[in-house]
Amino acid sequence: MTILFFLLSGTALAEVVENNAEPVALGPHELVESVTGELLEAIGKHRESFEQDPEPFFEELGCLLGKVVDFRFIAYNVMGPYRAQATDEQLKRFADAFRRDLIETYGRGLVSYGDETIVVLPLADELGEKRKVTVAQEIHGVDGVFPLYYSMARNKSNEWKITNVVINGINLGKTFRNQFSQRAQKFGGDIDQVIDSWTTQVSTEA
């Protein structure tokens, strides 16, 4: 389903105040809404050349997603209890492998985007000083309406970041975490082998 590949729609764009050119960070709702158009532009630009040379699209997608998706936070949570025993080098290796995996997997799905209509729903309550919110998005297509829910949180720089997505009832954070746990059990808790298998999966699918 092409809707699956909109779970990472986001970019930390900033509005510029005309009077003093000071950047003003977008709120979570505006953030998701604004990047949808930019993401569709990137798809249109790379669609024809993607099969012959996908790397330019992956690079642009990585730049967009890297500014709004907290890949490191998500990757560390995917590691679950194994994170506590991982070294700093292993944490970095897995975060990098996880990021690359998502960009390539969803990038390949994005180029198949068709005539769906994407709607970002308004926040149910006032944002106020909340540190965590859920932004709802709907994908309207020929197969019906599919909901996406973005878990978003403010970081220390007061920027909103996507930390998880639930799509059509499927919690992707939990899904990835189960995958990591299953691989860790398969390899007897050897984190390096889990990371290597994640990297191998990326390279064989590329």
Backbone angles phi, psi at 63, to 5 degrees: -65, -40
**Structure token pair of residue 98:** 């996880």
Q: Which domains does the chain have, with CATH numbers?
A: 2-175 (3.10.450.710)
**Higher per-residue confidence, 80 vs 16:** 80
Per-residue pLDDT of 194-206, as tens digits, reads 999 996 554 444 4
**Neighbouring C-alpha atoms within 13 Å toward the C-beta of 85:** 8
State the amino acid at position 158 in one-letter form: N
CA distance 113 to 77: 29
CA distance 190 to 182: 12
Per-residue pLDDT of 51-109, as tens digits, reads 999 999 999 988 888 878 899 999 999 999 999 999 999 999 999 999 988 888 777 87
Instruction: Tell me the average pLDDT across 117-138.
Output: 81
Q: Note the pLDDT of residue 14.
A: 32
Residue 69 Cα distances to 10, 87, 193, angstroms: 7, 23, 26
Alpha helices in the chain (DSSP H): 28-46, 55-66, 71-79, 88-110, 172-186, 191-205
Q: What angle do CA 162, 163, 167 make, to 5 degrees?
A: 85
Taking the CA atoms of residue 127, residue 164, residue 150 and residue 56 in that order, the dihedral angle to the nearest 10 degrees is 120
CA distance 54 to 31: 26
